[in-house]
C-alpha cells in the first residue's frame, strides 16, 4: 500500500513503513500494534500525552529499541535494526532531547565522529575541514569548523547533530522535542532548517508537545494514546482542539484554571531589593501572599539567573531578599527552604531530580528532618508523609517506589512539585514549570500553581511561553539585559505588550528594530 498524500494522490512506496509494531517494558505495553507510513520529502508528526508511546516509537524507527513484534520496511524492504548504527546504514538518524555530542571536540570533529577521513591512524585535518565546509554550505549552516561544541548554545549544538546526520546521508531524521529547550529566534531558525531538509527530499519524524509547531510544520500527524495509534490524518484537517481531544480521549476544556482572587493589600511574602548577581543588574520586586507574578523576557534576559540568585543557588554580590520580612543568606538554598522559599528549577534532569532513586526518596529529599529519628530516615514516616502529597499532585501510572527515570516528563515534573509541597512554602519560584510536558500534564501543573496561590503561597513564575505567563499571572514583570524594564497588569497584559517591553531599549524605551 502506497502512502496517500493529503491531496489524495498516491506517492508510491513510503520511505519507512511500520506494520503492527509492539513493545513492552515489564508489565507495561509502551506501544501496541502501531502501523504507519512515512514518505520522503515530508514532515510526519507524532503527538500524544507523556507516556503515550511517541518517544518509544521514534527509538524503534531509529534503532535504539528493538520491537517485540511487528515489522518495519525501508523503501519496501524489511529491516530489523539492533542498533542506531544499523539504522544509520539505512539512512535513518535520530536527534534526541539529550544531545549526544563530545564537548571538547570541534564542530567538524563531532559532525564526522567515527567517520573521519584518515590515513593510517592519523586524521587528515585538511580533508576533514574541507568536507565540513562543503556540507555546511549545502545545508545552509554557518557554524565555524574549529569551534568546540561544549561552549555553544543548544540551538547551535542541534545544528551540529543535524549535520552529523546529513554527513551520513540520512534520509529520515527523527527529532524528539527539538524545540523544547529553545526560544524565539532559535525556534524559527530550527523550523527553517526543517523546511529546508524537506525541500531537499529528506523526511522528518517530529515528536513535539507544541501543537502550534506541529500544525505549522507537519504534512501528516499521527495521534497516539496509551501506546495505541488513534488516527493518522493530514495536518490541514486538524486543529489544536481536535488533536487535544484525540490525545486525551476527551475535550480539555479551558486551557487555564481561573486565577485566584488577588488582594492588593495582602502582606508581602517575597521582597527583593537592588539585587545584583551574575547576569542580574539591580533588580527589585515584590510578590504578595496569594499572588502569581510572571517573569517574562527573551532568552538571555537574566530571568533564570535572577531566580537562582534569589533562592541562593548562585551568589548575590549585593542586595537583599526577604521572605515574610526575614532576610535570607545569599548562597544557602537549605536556609531558603527552611525560611519558606522553594524552587522548581529550569532543568529537572540537571538541577532537580535524582533519576536513579525512587519517587519516595525524591519527594522527601527536602524534608528529611521531618521523617528522621537520630539521623536515620524512618521509611514508615517517610511513606506516611509522602503518600498524601502524591495524591495531591495526581501522579499517574506510578507508585512511591517507581524509579524516577522510568516516569514520563509530566510525572517527573509532578514529583518536583510534590517535593516542594512537602515544605509548605510561603513563596514558590517556578522556572519553566511545564517544559517538556504534554497538554494534559500542563493543565494539572497549572491547577497546582493556582491551588498554591489560593492557599496563600506567593508564586514567582518564569516561562518562555507568553500564553502561560498571561494565563496564570496577576502581574507580569518583563526583563531585559538583567533588569526589570516593565511591569504590566490589567489590560496592559498582552503578548504584544510583553514583546514590546522585551525588545525595548532600557534607556530610550523605544522598540528596537
| Average confidence (pLDDT) over 387-398 | 82
Examine the fold and report which residue of 248, 276, 293 is the final residue of a domain before the chain moves on.
Answer: 248
Q: Which of 107-111, 292-296, 360-364, 498-502 has the highest mean pLDDT?
A: 292-296
Q: Which one has a higher pLDDT value, 185 or 485?
A: 485
pLDDT for res 512: 35
Query: What is the rounded average pLDDT for all residues in the chain?
Result: 85
Domain limits at 286?
268-352+425-503
Q: 239-274 pLDDT, tens per residue?
A: 988 988 888 787 666 678 899 999 999 999 999 999
Do 193 and 62 reside in the same domain of the chain? yes
CA–CA dist 425, 32 (Å, integer): 42
DSSP 257: P
Does residue 365 belong to any structural domain of this protein?
no
Q: Answer whether residue 512 is part of any domain.
A: no
Residue 2 lies in a domain: no
Q: What is the mean pLDDT of residues 147-154?
A: 84
Domain boundary among 248, 282, 302: 248
Mean pLDDT of 403-412: 83
Residue 232 lies in a domain: yes
The reply to whether 261 falls in a domain is: no
What pLDDT score does 215 carry?
A: 94
Structure confidence at residue 104 (pLDDT): 83
Q: pLDDT tier at 337 (50, 70, 90 boundaries)? A: confident
Measured CA to CA, the distance from residue 392 to residue 334 in angstroms comes to 24
Segment 155-177 shows an average pLDDT of 85
Per-residue pLDDT, 179: 80
How does pLDDT run across 43-69, given as a tens digit for each residue? 999 998 777 889 899 999 999 999 999
Q: Is the same domain home to 188 and 334? A: no
Residues 235 and 320 both lie in one domain: no
Inform me whether the pLDDT recorded for 509 exceeds 60. no
Same domain for 290 and 211, yes or no, is no
Within a domain: 218:
yes
**Poorest-confidence range of 82-96, 135-149, 468-482?**
135-149
Q: How many CB atoms lie within 10 A of CB 157?
A: 21
Q: How many domains does the chain have?
A: 2
Residues 106 and 100: their CA atoms lie apart, in Å, by: 14
Indicate the pLDDT class of residue 276, thresholds 50, 70 and 90.
very high
State whether 230 and 294 are in the same domain: no
Q: How far, in Å, are 244, 337, 394, 455, 505 from residue 443 at the CA level? A: 12, 26, 11, 18, 35
pLDDT at position 112 is 84
Domain final residue, candidates 248, 279, 306: 248
Does the pLDDT at position 203 exceed 50?
yes
Burial class (CB in 10 A: 0-12, 13-18, 19+), 177: buried
Q: What's the pLDDT score for residue 116?
A: 67
Task: Give every CB contact of residue 508 below 8 A, 6+ residues apart in sequence.
Answer: none
In this predicted structure, the answer to whether residue 345 has a pLDDT above a threshold of 70 is: yes
The least confident of 36-40, 176-180, 268-272, 288-292 is 176-180
Query: Partners of 342 in the beta sheet?
Result: 428
Same domain, 38 and 145: yes
Asked if 167 and 285 sit in the same domain, the reply is no
| Residues 274 and 191 both lie in one domain | no
Q: Residue 452: pLDDT band by 50, 70, 90 thresholds?
A: very high
pLDDT at 7 over 50: no
- Residues 239 and 302 grouped into a single domain: no
The neighbouring-strand residues paired with 440 are none
Instruction: Report the predicted TM-score, pTM, of the whole model to 2 decimal places.
Output: 0.64
269-304 as b/e: b if 16+ CB within 10 A:
bbbbeebebebbbebebebbbbbbbbbbbbbbbbbb
Per-residue pLDDT at 240: 86
> Per the domain annotation, does 466 fall within a domain?
yes
Residue 304 has pLDDT above 50, yes or no: yes
What are the Cα distances from residue 40, in Å, to 58, 151, 194? 16, 34, 13
Q: Is residue 346's pLDDT more than 80?
A: yes
The CATH number of the domain holding residue 136 is 3.40.50.300
Residue 263 cell numbers, joined: 488582594
How far is residue 287's CA from residue 321's CA, in Å, rounded to a whole number? 12
pLDDT at 32: 94
The reply to whether 169 and 305 lie within a common domain is: no
pLDDT at 446 over 90: yes
Place of cell 546521508: 169
Which of the four pLDDT bands, split at 50, 70 and 90, describes residue 341? very high
Please list, in sequence order, all residues whose beta carbon lies within 8 angstroms of the beta carbon of residue 212, skipping any fewer than 6 positions away: 240
Contact 404, 359 (CB under 8 A): yes
According to the model, what pLDDT value does residue 98 have?
66
Grid cell at residue 37: 507510513
The answer to whether the beta carbons of residues 173 and 95 sit under 8 Å apart is yes
- Strand 228-234 and strand 268-277: the pairing is unpaired
Instruction: Measure the CA angle with vertex 342, ends 340 and 343; round to 5°.
Output: 160
Same domain for 43 and 102: yes
* pLDDT over 80 at 211, yes or no: yes
- For residues 228 and 345, state if they share a domain: no
Contacts of 404 (CB under 8 A, 6+ apart): 353, 354, 355, 356, 357, 358, 359, 362, 412, 415
Residues 6+ apart with CB under 8 A from 294: 461, 462, 463, 469, 470, 472, 473, 475, 476, 477
Domain assignment present for 411: no
**pLDDT classification of 474: cutoffs 50, 70, 90:** very high
Amino acid at each position: 500500500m502506497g502512502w496517500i498524500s493529503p491531496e489524495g494522490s498516491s506517492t508510491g512506496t513510503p520511505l519507512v513503513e511500520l506494520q503492527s509494531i509492539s513493545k513492552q517494558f515489564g508489565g507495561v505495553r509502551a506501544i501496541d500494534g502501531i502501523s504507519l507510513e512515512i514518505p520522503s520529502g515530508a514532515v510526519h508528526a507524532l503527538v500524544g500525552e507523556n507516556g503515550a508511546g511517541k518517544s518509544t516509537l521514534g527509538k524503534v524507527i531509529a534503532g535504539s529499541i528493538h520491537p517485540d513484534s511487528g515489522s518495519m520496511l525501508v523503501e519496501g524492504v524489511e529491516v530489523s535494526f539492533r542498533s542506531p548504527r544499523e539504522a544509520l546504514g539505512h539512512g535513518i538518524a535520530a536527534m534526541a532531547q539529550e544531545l549526544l555530542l563530545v564537548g571538547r571536540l570541534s564542530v567538524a570533529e563531532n559532525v564526522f565522529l567515527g567517520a573521519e577521513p584518515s590515513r593510517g591512524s592519523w586524521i587528515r585535518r585538511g580533508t576533514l575541514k574541507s568536507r565540513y565546509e562543503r556540507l555546511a554550505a549545502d545545508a545552509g549552516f554557518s557554524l565555524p569548523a574549529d569551534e568546540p561544541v561544549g561552549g555553544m548554545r543548544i540551538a547551535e549544538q542541534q545544528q551540529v547533530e543535524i549535520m552529523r546526520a546529513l554527513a551520513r546521508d540520512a534520509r529520515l531524521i527523527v527529532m524528539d522535542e527539538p524545540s523544547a529547550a529553545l526560544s524565539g529566534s532559535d525556534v524559527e531558525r530550527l523550523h527553517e532548517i526543517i523546511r529546508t531538509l524537506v525541500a531537499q527530499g529528506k523526511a522528518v519524524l517530529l515528536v513535539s508537545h507544541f501543537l502550534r509547531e506541529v500544525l505549522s510544520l507537519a504534512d501528516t500527524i499521527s495521534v497516539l494514546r496509551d501506546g495505541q495509534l488513534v488516527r493518522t490524518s493530514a495536518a490541514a484537517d486538524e486543529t489544536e482542539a481536535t488533536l487535544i481531544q484525540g490525545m486525551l480521549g476527551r475535550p480539555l476544556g479551558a486551557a487555564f484554571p481561573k486565577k485566584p482572587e488577588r488582594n492588593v493589600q495582602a502582606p508581602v511574602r517575597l521582597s527583593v531589593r537592588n539585587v545584583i548577581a551574575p547576569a542580574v543588574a539591580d533588580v527589585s520586586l515584590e510578590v504578595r501572599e496569594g499572588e502569581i507574578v510572571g517573569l517574562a523576557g527573551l532568552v538571555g534576559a537574566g530571568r533564570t539567573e535572577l531566580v537562582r540568585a534569589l533562592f541562593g543557588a548562585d551568589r548575590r554580590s549585593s542586595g537583599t531578599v526577604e521572605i515574610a520580612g526575614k532576610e535570607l543568606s545569599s548562597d544557602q538554598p537549605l536556609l531558603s527552604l527552611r525560611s519558606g522559599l522553594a524552587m522548581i528549577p529550569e532543568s529537572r534532569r540537571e538541577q532537580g531530580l535524582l533519576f536513579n532513586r525512587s519517587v519516595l526518596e525524591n519527594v522527601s529529599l527536602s524534608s528529611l528532618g521531618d521523617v528522621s529519628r537520630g539521623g536515620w530516615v524512618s521509611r514508615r514516616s517517610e511513606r506516611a508523609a509522602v503518600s498524601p502529597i502524591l495524591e495531591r499532585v495526581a501522579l499517574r501510572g506510578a507508585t512511591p517506589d517507581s524509579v524516577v527515570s522510568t516516569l514520563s516528563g509530566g510525572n517527573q515534573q509532578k514529583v518536583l512539585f510534590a517535593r516542594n509541597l512537602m515544605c509548605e512554602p510561603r513563596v514558590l519560584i517556578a522556572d519553566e514549570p511545564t517544559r517538556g510536558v504534554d497538554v494534559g500534564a500542563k493543565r494539572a501543573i497549572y491547577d497546582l500553581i493556582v491551588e498554591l496561590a489560593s492557599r496563600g503561597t506567593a508564586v514567582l513564575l518564569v516561562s518562555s511561553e507568553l500564553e502561560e505567563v498571561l494565563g496564570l499571572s496577576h502581574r507580569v514583570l518583563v526583563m531585559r539585559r538583567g533588569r526589570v524594564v516593565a511591569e504590566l497588569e490589567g489590560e496592559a497584559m498582552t503578548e504584544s505588550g510583553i514583546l514590546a517591553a522585551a525588545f525595548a531599549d532600557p534607556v530610550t524605551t523605544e522598540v528596537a528594530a
